[in-house]
Amino acid sequence: MTLENTLSIIKPDATRRNLTGAINAKFEEQGLRIIAQKRLQLTRTQAEKFYEVHKERPFYGELVDFMISGPVVAQVLSGENAVLKNREIMGETNPANAADGTIRKEFAESIEANSVHGSDSLENAVNEINYFFSGIEIVG
Ligand code: ADP
Ligand code: MG
């Protein structure tokens, strides 16, 4: 058994539609624990830095605009194989390809406004958690 932590972000399309609780229920029903959580209005600089790995991709500018278009909820999710598990709960990036029951299938508006972010590796999870949270804010 490998207990992991991963970073989740509930994106502006979802906070706008008051879906924070519905999305959190998906995590909790499937065995992930929310061990840190805060609602934030990201600045442009903060969003640009968070998505720096996508800087060269054609959608980068629009993605940053979207991520600062309203509040987000940053979270640390904990559980067995939490990184991969969260990716499964989220579903594919494009909601058209997402499996039934996933967050993106049920809630996403588009490939961009797809309701949630989740770390894609354990190494990125550590870096992304440290970007948003200090140790004292994470209560496992
Ligand atoms: P994921 O969030 O599934 O890990 P990526 O890391 O590839 O996906 O992309 C980061 C985010 O960029 C996506 O969640 C989505 O909001 C946005 N995005 C990805 N691909 C596109 C695209 N083709 N057009 C517009 N936005 C996109
Ligand atoms: Mg990604």
Q: pLDDT (tens digit, 9 = 90+) per residue, 35-68?
A: 999 999 999 999 999 999 999 999 999 999 999 9
* Closest ligand to Cα 95: 1
What is the reported pLDDT for 1? 75
- State the distance from the centre of ligand 2 to the C-alpha of 56, rounded, in angstroms: 14
Average pLDDT of the chain, as a whole number:
98
Is pTM beyond 0.95? Reply is yes
Length of the chain: 140
Output the six-digit token pair for 91: 């579903």
Query: What is the CA 27 to chain-centroid distance, rounded?
Result: 11
Taking residue 73's Cβ as centre, other Cβ atoms within 10 Å add up to 21
pLDDT of residue 110: 98
